Amino acid sequence: MRSILSVADLSSPEMASLIERSGALKKQIRSGRPPPALRGKVVGLLFEKPSTRTRTSFEVATIRLGGDPVYLSASELQLTRGEPVKDTARILGGYLDVIVGRVYSQETLTQLAKHSGRPVVNALSDAEHPTQIISDLFTIKEAKGHLEGLTTVFVGDGNNVSNSLLLGGALTGMNVTVACPEGYEPDQDIFRKAKSLAAKSGAELEVVRDPKGAVAEADVVYTDVWVSMGDESEKEKRMAAFRDYQVGSTLMKAAPKGAIVMHCLPAHRGLEITDDILEGRQSVAWRQGENKLYGAAASLEFVSKKQ
């Protein structure tokens, strides 16, 4: 039984296979002939935070693959009245075949996996967003034809998405540079883990301050919100800290013309990205959003098959 709590739970061949399956499932789902990989299975979606894309793509992927989704808003569970995660996990494990969880703390996912006896998929935590990166690597491969040797520059907050991107680059041989202000670096333990994985794949990983210098050689410029879910109390401080980290036409003038622009969405136009860039010819954000469905399908197929 396999869970996906972190990108680091996957080997390089497994990540390659998930990217390949995302592409195959895209064709199969679009042509109306997806495989019934989840027939007879019930997938529970336990969400502590809002979601448009991840929730809907996992629910639809479950249905397309012949399974049944059950959405569980954490705010409506006894969790909010003090029932421990481990008790919740034991009960849900008796009902469900797979648990997809969006949580504040990565530890909640660890507990869910430990006590449910079911595969758990991380649908975003404070530490990582692994299924976002599975579908994003597929989107980059779709646009550029390959991953190895490319350079993706993540501009802004060294958050959950940047952490998973570093690990994803390390597994696939794609260089990742995070350009962020001081105090907003990616998680140190995850960066160290990514560095050790990168030693095998040859990916170069670095954290820099200057976004302009960083994007000069970029194949992909990636950004995300300045204020992640859970960081709302730091909003004003963050607005000041990230002022020089906007992906707008000034920054994109410093990047190669062929660079693509990615955003995991939701986007805040005028903050981390400008409208002209998000809607412009270099943006693949909308295709990236659609591809979350195929990454979700590949992830569900992966955790529900007998290993």
Given the rule CB under 6 A, which residues bind ligand NVA? 124, 159-161, 224-225, 228-229, 264
**Distance, C-alpha 45 to centroid of its chain:** 16
| Nearest by Cα to 112 from 163, 38, 68, 46 | 46
- Look at residue 52 and give the partner it binds from ligand NVA, ligand CP, none, a contact being a CB closer than 5 to 8 Å depending on partner kind: ligand CP
Toward ligand NVA, which CB reaches closer, 151 or 159? 159
Taking the complex as a whole, how short is the minimal distance between the CB of residue 52 and ligand NVA, in angstroms?
9
Q: CA separation (Å) from 260 to 98, 105, 146, 283?
A: 34, 32, 14, 6
Toward ligand CP, which CB reaches closer, 51 or 110? 51
Taking the complex as a whole, how short is the minimal distance between the CB of residue 285 and ligand NVA, in angstroms?
12
Using CB under 6 A as the binding rule, whether residue 193 contacts ligand CP is answered as no
Q: How many residues does the chain have?
A: 307
Toward ligand NVA, which CB reaches closer, 92 or 154? 154
Q: Which residues pair with 98 in a beta bridge?
A: 43
Residues of this chain, 262-281, that bind ligand CP according to CB under 6 A: 264-266
Q: Apex CA 225: angle with CA 219 and CA 227, to 5°?
A: 150
Taking the complex as a whole, how short is the minimal distance between the CB of residue 55 and ligand CP, in angstroms?
6
Residues of this chain, 114-153, that bind ligand CP according to CB under 6 A: 124, 132
Q: In the chain, what is the greatest distance between 2 CA atoms, to the nearest angstrom?
A: 55
| Nearest by Cα to 121 from 129, 76, 42 | 129
Side-by-side strand order, sheet with 98-102:
68-73, 42-47, 98-102, 120-122
Using CB under 6 A as the binding rule, whether residue 290 contacts ligand CP is answered as no
Please choose, out of 46-54, 135-143, 171-179, 243-251, the segment that lies near ligand CP by the rule CB under 6 A. 46-54
- Look at residue 282 and give the partner it binds from ligand NVA, ligand CP, none, a contact being a CB closer than 5 to 8 Å depending on partner kind: none
Reduced to 3 states, what is the DSSP secondary structure of residue 248? coil
Toward ligand NVA, which CB reaches closer, 51 or 201? 51
Q: Which amino acid is at 233?
A: S
Using CB under 6 A as the binding rule, whether residue 54 contacts ligand CP is answered as yes
Toward ligand NVA, which CB reaches closer, 177 or 304? 177
Reduced to 3 states, what is the DSSP secondary structure of residue 268? coil
Q: CA separation (Å) from 92 to 37, 73, 81, 101, 209?
A: 21, 13, 17, 12, 44
Taking the complex as a whole, how short is the minimal distance between the CB of residue 129 and ligand CP, in angstroms?
6
Toward ligand NVA, which CB reaches closer, 224 or 301? 224
Toward ligand NVA, which CB reaches closer, 175 or 223? 223
Q: Which residue's CB comes closest to ligand CP?
A: 54
| Nearest by Cα to 185 from 207, 215, 213 | 207
Taking the complex as a whole, how short is the minimal distance between the CB of residue 126 and ligand NVA, in angstroms?
8
**Distance, C-alpha 88 to centroid of its chain:** 25
**Binding positions for ligand CP, rule: CB under 6 A:** 51-54, 124, 132, 264-266
